[in-house]
Amino acid sequence: GNSVTQMEGPVTLSEEAFLTINCTYTATGYPSLFWYVQYPGEGLQLLLKATKADDKGSNKGFEATYRKETTSFHLEKGSVQVSDSAVYFCALYDSGAGSYQLTFGKGTKLSVIP
Amino acid sequence: DVKVTQSSRYLVKRTGEKVFLECVQDMDHENMFWYRQDPGLGLRLIYFSYDVKMKEKGDIPEGYSVSREKKERFSLILESASTNQTSMYLCASSLSDRGVVFGEGSRLTVL
């Protein structure tokens, strides 16, 4: 079956530090990949996505590249801000699996300190 | 803005009570989902629906049921709430692989 593995948290960084959150996946077909963000007390919001190999998703300074050869979709940001403190979820959607649901990683909590 | 609206942000119920969590989307999406979110366990799918009156069990359906009488509305029902159902419940909807849109969540406490 499908699965998503992302790095354990929590991650604590100083403001303006470089961020990487690792995400790897297992899928039976050719999935679309997503990063979602959950700010404190809120639901999940789509941060970025990539639908095929070598695509790069980007939004709000965050980037992730769909790497089929390493089955990875790592999230990066060059300079984090306090406002980026949140929980980040990697997810995949595999239409070839005949399902309509997303498979999520367990989430990585990021705390950015001034 | 497209929206998924959950009827209650916070609920407190007693063990054995029947609980309804309502969810409405305004995007004409076919697919709707109920997840629960717990610390250290991430998001776990309870039920999903890909059409009116259709429902499919997710990973943890025990103790829950759902209803989808209209396309825009997907309800989660706890027939007899228990303390281990204290959690954050997230409703979502989607249109194929364009990404899933989530509501803001309903935090349920069962005493």
Instruction: Say whether pLDDT at B2 is over 70.
Output: no
Task: Give pLDDT, residue A97.
Answer: 54
pLDDT over 70 for what percent of chain A? 95
Q: How far apart are the first and last CA of chain B?
A: 36
Instruction: Round to whole Å and give the CA distance between A10 and A91.
Output: 18
Do B42 and A106 lie within an 8 Å CB cutoff?
Answer: yes
Residues 6+ apart with CB under 8 A from A62: A35, A47, A48, A75, A76, A77
Task: Give pLDDT, residue A41.
Answer: 83
Instruction: Say whether pLDDT at A24 is over 60.
Output: yes
pLDDT digits (tens, 9 = 90+) for B84-95: 999 999 999 987
Residue B29 sits at the vertex; the CA angle it makes with B26 and B30, to the nearest 5 degrees, is 140
Tell me the residue length of chain B. 111
Task: Give pLDDT, residue B55.
Answer: 92
C-alpha pair distances (Å), A74 with each of A49, B1, B30, B56, B104:
11, 29, 30, 31, 26
pLDDT digits (tens, 9 = 90+) for B14-55: 999 999 999 999 988 888 999 999 988 888 999 999 889 899
pLDDT over 90 for what percent of chain A? 73
Task: Give pLDDT, residue B97.
Answer: 58
pLDDT digits (tens, 9 = 90+) for B59-106: 899 999 999 999 999 999 999 999 999 999 999 998 765 678 899 999
Do A107 and B42 lie within an 8 Å CB cutoff?
Answer: yes
Instruction: Say whether pLDDT at A55 is over 90.
Output: yes
> Which of B23, B43, B51, B104 to mutate to test binding with chain A, by most A CBs within 10 Å of its CB?
B43
Query: If you write DSSP's letter for every residue of A22-80 in order, what string do you get?
Result: -EEEE-SS--EEEEEEE-TTS-EEEEEEE-STT-EEEETTEEEE-BTTTTB--EEESS-
Q: How far apart are the first and last CA of chain A?
A: 41
Residues 6+ apart with CB under 8 A from B44: B35, B36, B37, B38, B58, B59, B60
With CA atoms as reference, the chain A residue closest to B33 would be: A101
Q: Whose CA is closest to A36, among A81, A70, A86?
A: A86
